[in-house]
Amino acid sequence: MGNRINWLTATTVAVGLAVAGNAFATNGYFTHGNGTKNKAMAGAGIALPEDAIDVTNNPAVAVLVGDQVIGGVSVFSPIRKYETSESMANGGCFPGMGCAFTIGPNSLKSKSNYFFIPHVSWSKQLANDNAFAISFYGRGGMNTDWQGGSASFDPDGPAGPAPAMTFPGTYGDGAFGGNGNAGVNLSQAFLDVTWAKKFSNDISFGVSAVLVGQMFEAKGVRTFAQYTETFAASGGMTMPESLSNNSTDWSYGYGAKLGIHVPFNERFSFGAMYQTKIWMSEFDDYADLFAEQGDFDIPADLKLGLTWHASQALDLSFDIEHIFYGDVDSISNPISNIFACPTAGAGGTDLSKCLGGKNGAGFGWDDMTVYKVGLKWSNNEDWSWRLGYSYGEQPIPNSEMTFNILAPATIEQHFTGGFTLERTPGRQFNMALMYAPNSSLKGTQNFDPSQTVRFEMYQWELEASYSWRF
């Protein structure tokens, strides 16, 4: 037993180090599932407990999965592209329109395309139908790396002597002496500490303390310095130092999960999980970028699921997940808030709506609801097969194009499959494959109404895990 605990501790440290450099996005920037079996069913199955890692989907199942250690890793590949059209403004100034900020025209693919995402979980059954579990896993999103491109703008406005100028970079950040590369990197590492209890009627309840560390980096967005609260509050005399190109910053936070599992009868079982908002410390090095001086909480999450045990060999799961992106200002505030900033040139007077302000502009994301269906079929004692499909309307309105070049979370569908092989009782090898077909969004560039922006993404993921019961 001591060796197993030592293995778990070492693996947890390794996971933490590995996750720190990786990020991915599927349903917004939430994963389509947690654990290999769950991912093979497109995230469906919170009422179908199988492995220790399933406690991350529903804490109540810790008392149903036995004594187990499971670890795995995925190779994840999001392929992203954005295009901007020709512009009638081309960075110039026009009566009634002000001075435009024109992106390109560009057509770029993100250079960051492959990530390795590990996970590990341990569950232990205790006396009197209690159980304990520890799980460590990664999540993130919005990782982009745009190299090249250009942007045009009038650096001193219509009254100044300088004409419209073009600089390298998606947002013209080369005007500030950099190479113009733009993008963001958000990575999150989660530690769930779980307790669960099964009652005399076989209903199970569980709760998890959720501890989170996240890291963030933004580059290539110094062009937006004039829209920051720091710049506006100083009357244009102080440039923001916590906006862009400040390397990696860390934040830490906590929240909780509550879960329940109800076996109605031999044929049907129900599961539910609610994760609170995860309250995070601020990204101090990006206090001029995110609303509320660098705040970037993790939104609340609600999952409901029903599993039909059709036979000893066949299970069908139907789940719904709702992600509350709209409750986090830095994610949900619309970009239009920026034009109320006093230095935006649109006659605004509200400092709180400048970048970094209490109501500062964000990505404009809406809440997201995802519908999932998954199938498990066991044709013999050794092999089990899984299929899944999920759909959720992507969270970005087509009125929020300019900032979301940094985070083009357009994926709406996931097609999944996988298998489990158990040659030795209690020892399982699992595989899962996910393909998310190309999904795109097109809308008006927010700083140049004569220009359109289109971005798109498709994804694939291959995950393997191994588990053993003791």
DSSP 201: T
142 contacts: CB under 8 Å, gap ≥ 6: 23, 25, 29, 184, 185, 186, 406, 407, 409
296-313 pLDDT, tens per residue? 999 999 999 999 999 999
Distance separating alpha carbons of residues 262 and 265, to the nearest angstrom: 9
Q: What is the pLDDT of residues 193-218, one digit of tens each?
A: 999 999 988 999 999 999 999 999 99
Closest CA to 278 of 308, 323, 317, 345: 323
Q: Which of the four pLDDT bands, split at 50, 70 and 90, describes residue 12? A: very low
Between 59 and 117, whose confidence is greater? Answer: 59
Model pLDDT for residues 21-51, shown as the tens digit of each residue = 444 568 999 999 999 999 999 999 999 999 9
Please answer whether residues 229 and 351 qualify as being in contact, where contact means their C-beta atoms are separated by less than 8 angstroms: yes
Mean pLDDT of the chain: 91
How far apart are alpha carbons 43 and 31 in whole angstroms? 9
For 393-425, how does the pLDDT look when each residue is reduced to its tens digit (9 = 90+)? 999 999 999 999 998 999 999 999 999 999 999
The answer to whether 369 and 393 have CB atoms below 8 angstroms apart is yes
Name the fold adopted by 2-469.
Porin (2.40.160)
The answer to whether 425 touches 68, Cβ cutoff 8 Å, is: no
How far is Cα 31 from Cα 17, in angstroms, rounded to an integer? Answer: 19
The confidence score (pLDDT) of residue 143 equals 82
